[in-house]
Structure 1
Amino acid sequence: SITLWDISIISPSLSLCLPAAQPISSKLHEGWWAYKDVVQGSFVPVPSFWGLVNSAWNLCAMGKRQSPIDIETSHMIFDPHLTPLRLNTGGRRMGGTMYNTGKHVSLRPDKAHLVNISGGPLGYSYRLEEVRLHFGSEDAQGSEHLLNGQGFPGEVQLIHYNQDLYANYSEAAKSPHGIAVVSIFIKLSENSNAFLNRMLNRDTITRINYKHDAFLLMGLNIADLYPDTTRYITYEGSITIPPCYETSTWILINKPVYVTQMQMHSLRLLSQNEPYKIFLSMSDNTRPTQPLLQRCIRTNINFSKQGRDCPNNRALQIDRWIDG
């Protein structure tokens, strides 16, 4: 069962101890940030400091459309104009390289294989750039997004860039309508999703135990990763790592995918360090939820049969839905 997860990582008052943001040397690697405190003799900023240590990352602290969020189902708005999402693989399977980046398990498609999405809330065609896994050290946490305050063991994020307007991901990430992220909650079961099973079976996952490890996978069918549903939730938000650009349309699929307890255990054994450094589990690689502020959360799930004034019934339906 899923329990409430306290997402507070650091007291807001602690941020007062940090000096005013100073420009950081361009020589500093863009990866100079962390999800959680590590004892390594040097300061590496955790999420509450991302926007304070680098002026180029100020949206992480000052932005008004940040991600992830806690999806409160009572605040969702039914939009009858939201059409099903369209996935186009060209009828071909794809190859991709799986990486341990030190922060995520990342699968990056071979550039020769075009996978794109369109339709739904999107006005353009978006090309798949990366499949990224977030997961927790415990079963009640690990997803970046929450549902009515509850976390899930993990979250798959399929990150796409607008190929109609921009030449590549880097250009799109900082530009309007640049990014579309399809997000799918991960739950535990005795059987795993066919696509994730290719990534997380023992022969594969043990190839990327340490930071910078990589392993090539072939014959992948990205359609296998998508749950059997056309229903989703969508909102306008940001990239969830620095520089936190507010250029992302989020599409959260309304059914989860499943992995086994053993596969989740294998993920927790991945190190965020190189083999010659101390072992630090990659788990809990999540940014805390951000304020919704004035944004709308839209959905193509029609609640009209429940009655407009029944938010409790609506929440109950969502609970059943995510168990789907």
Structure 2
Amino acid sequence: MQLRPLERTANKEMRRVSEGQVAVLSVSAWLPLSLLAHLLLSSLSLSLFYLPSRRSLWTPCDSPVQFLLLVRDSGGGSGTMYNTGRHVSLRLDKEHLVNISGGPMTYSHRLEEIRLHFGSEDSQGSEHLLNGQAFSGEVQLIHYNHELYTNVTEAAKSPNGLVVVSIFIKVSDSSNPFLNRMLNRDTITRITYKNDAYLLQGLNIEELYPETSSFITYDGSMTIPPCYETASWIIMNKPVYITRMQMHSLRLLSQNQPSQIFLSMSDNFRPVQPLNNRCIRTNINFSLQGKDCPNNRAQKLQYRVNEWLLK
């Protein structure tokens, strides 16, 4: 199957940012000059990236590696959505395989599961933080290394086993097309209780991704037990959206079966953990400087964090 690259970015390097360093995510064209990025992540693979409101210096590029486009197979088909009691899970059928490669990955990885995390309030729900604040939710696409391992169970216990693409969820007046398929009233009410399942047809994974190729990546672990430290995380720099009604419907899902007391699935996220001397890498272009950019195209390829993530 032909690999289709995402939109190209202006920079051609992946940059490595170590603990304690501060890096500019963008400059005057999109961010106030005082808005700088302090990138942190956790000891157990839950990361946060923090934007303090103070001036700082540019971060030197430490051991840059060649930038690769994040690419994925076009694919989709049908899949089954589950209420696991812990989160909403979507597993595609085995006839329509979806793979991802490039970016920070040495191997191709195959999509195994899509999970949704969300909060009881809009101010919480994601497993990553921006500026010390959470998003209303987070969608995680879990992939396993199908070149080295036969299944996700084997890969989860093994080196270079998993890649998780993480996308923030924000509440808005409109909805991401893929999430709209999952969260419309007729669908989401079919999985109200634990162990409920519902088949979805005509899925297109391309519709789930935001329109950006910028990301932050780090190596760590999964966020649910047994938390094997075999996962690489890719955090996209642009969120996707769902409506307030769809978020309300998620909060009406129960952790329990019908015969048991109702307990909302909300707040199914793990708190961030202390930093443990890990580093992050990013393909975000630190060198483009707003008004000094030679052309508008370069400016548009900057990390527009204030427009997409902070508004």
TM class by shorter chain equals: 0.7 to 0.9
Aligned to 2:306: 319
**What does residue range 1-324 of structure 1 map to in structure 2 within 5 Å?**
65-72=43-50, 81-89=66-74, 92-306=75-289, 318-323=305-310
For normalisation by structure 2, the TM-score amounts to 0.77
Displacement, 1:65? 4.1
Cα distance between partner residues in 1 of 2:43 and 2:59:
16
Greater strand proportion: 2
C-alpha separation in 1, matches of 2:233 and 2:217:
5
Query: Could you tell me which amino acid in structure 2 is paired with residue 68 of structure 1?
Result: L
Q: Hey, what's the Cα distance between the residues in 1 that align with 2:253 and 2:245? A: 13
Name the aligned partner's letter for residue 83 of structure 1.
L
The 1:317/1:190 distance shift into structure 2, 3 A limit, reads closer
Paired AA for residue 305 in structure 2: I
RMSD over aligned Cα atoms: 2.1
Q: Give the drift of 1:243.
A: 0.6
Give the whole-Å Cα distance in 2 for the aligned partners of 1:65 and 1:115: 30
Q: Aligned partners of 1:286, 1:280: CA distance in 2, in Å? A: 15
> Once the 2 structures are TM-superposed, how far is the Cα of residue 254 of structure 1 from its aligned partner?
0.6
> For residues 177-208 of structure 1, what are the alpha-carbon distances to aligned partners after superposition, in whole Å with 9 as ceiling and x for unaligned?
00000000000111100000000000000000
Unaligned runs of 5+ in 2: 1-41, 53-57, 291-302
- AA in 2 matched with 1:318: V
Distance 1:188 1:82 in 2: 32
State the Cα deviation string for residues 279-306 of structure 1 (Å, max 9, x = none).
Answer: 0000000011112221112111112235
Deviation at 1:103, TM superposition (A): 0.3
Q: CA deviation at 1:268?
A: 0.2
Q: Distance in 2 between matches of 1:318 and 1:268?
A: 28
Q: What is the DSSP-based 3-state SS (H/G/I as helix, E as strand, rest coil) of the residue aligned with 1:131?
A: strand
Aligned amino acid, residue 322 of structure 1: L
Quick one: which amino acid aligns to residue 222 of structure 2? I
Q: Report the AA paired with residue 87 of structure 1.
A: R
Query: CA separation of 1:297/1:206 partners in 2, compared to 1, >3 Å: closer, same or farther?
Result: same
Whole-angstrom distance in 2 between the partners of 1:100 and 1:128: 19
Report the alpha carbon displacement of residue 70 of structure 1 after superposing the two structures with TM. Answer: 1.5
User: In 1, Cα distance between the equivalents of 2:161 and 2:129?
Assistant: 24
Identity of aligned residues (%): 67
Residue in structure 1 matched with residue 4 of structure 2 by the alignment: none
By how many angstroms is 1:271 displaced?
0.3
Give, in angstroms, the shift of residue 214 of structure 1.
0.1
Any gaps of 5 or more consecutive residues in structure 1? Answer: 1-63, 308-315
- Offset, 1:81: 2.4
Report the Cα distance in structure 2 between the residues aligned to 1:286 and 1:256, rounded to whole angstroms: 17
- Say which SS state the counterpart of residue 288 (structure 2) adopts: helix
- How many aligned positions are there? 251
Amino acid at match of 1:67: S
Q: Deviations over 1:62-105 (max 9, x none)?
A: xx84121222357988656232211103xx43110000000000
Counterpart CA distance in 2 for 1:192 and 1:87 is 23
- Alignment partners' CA distance in 1, 2:225 and 2:306: 32
The 1-side partners of 2:76 and 2:115 are apart by 19
**Cα–Cα, structure 1 residues 297 and 202, in superposed 2: closer, same or farther, change >3 Å?**
same
How far 1:111 sits from its partner (Å)?
Answer: 1.3
Residue type of the alignment partner of 2:161: G
Taking a change above 3 Å as real, the CA distance of residues 66 and 305 of structure 1, as seen in their structure-2 partners, is same
